[in-house]
């Protein structure tokens, strides 16, 4: 049961990282994203990658 709770907490924290990353990247204009090497269509993918690594 404790393992399940820890997994749930970890997943929730990862989701918060995803939301925060996505929000921060969507605030950037296309030029700033290009300077980072990203396109606007990649934001969801990048946010998921960051969240999975957290």
22 closest CA partner among 54, 51, 2: 51
pLDDT at residue 23 in the model: 98
- Segment-wise mean pLDDT, segments of 10 residues, the chain, 54 residues: 92 97 97 96 97 91
User: Residue 8, class by beta-carbon neighbours within 10 Å (0-12 exposed, 13-18 middle, 19+ buried)?
Assistant: exposed
Which pTM does this prediction carry? 0.85
Q: What is the reported pLDDT for 28?
A: 97
pLDDT for 15: 97
Where in the chain are the domains? 2-53
Query: pLDDT value at position 2?
Result: 87
Residue-level pLDDT at 1: 82
């Amino acid at each position: 049961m404790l393992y399940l709770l820890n997994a749930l907490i970890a997943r929730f924290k990862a989701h918060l990282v995803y939301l925060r990353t996505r929000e921060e990247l969507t605030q950037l204009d296309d030029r700033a994203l290009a300077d980072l090497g990203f396109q606007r269509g990649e934001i969801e993918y990048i946010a998921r990658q960051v969240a999975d690594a957290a």
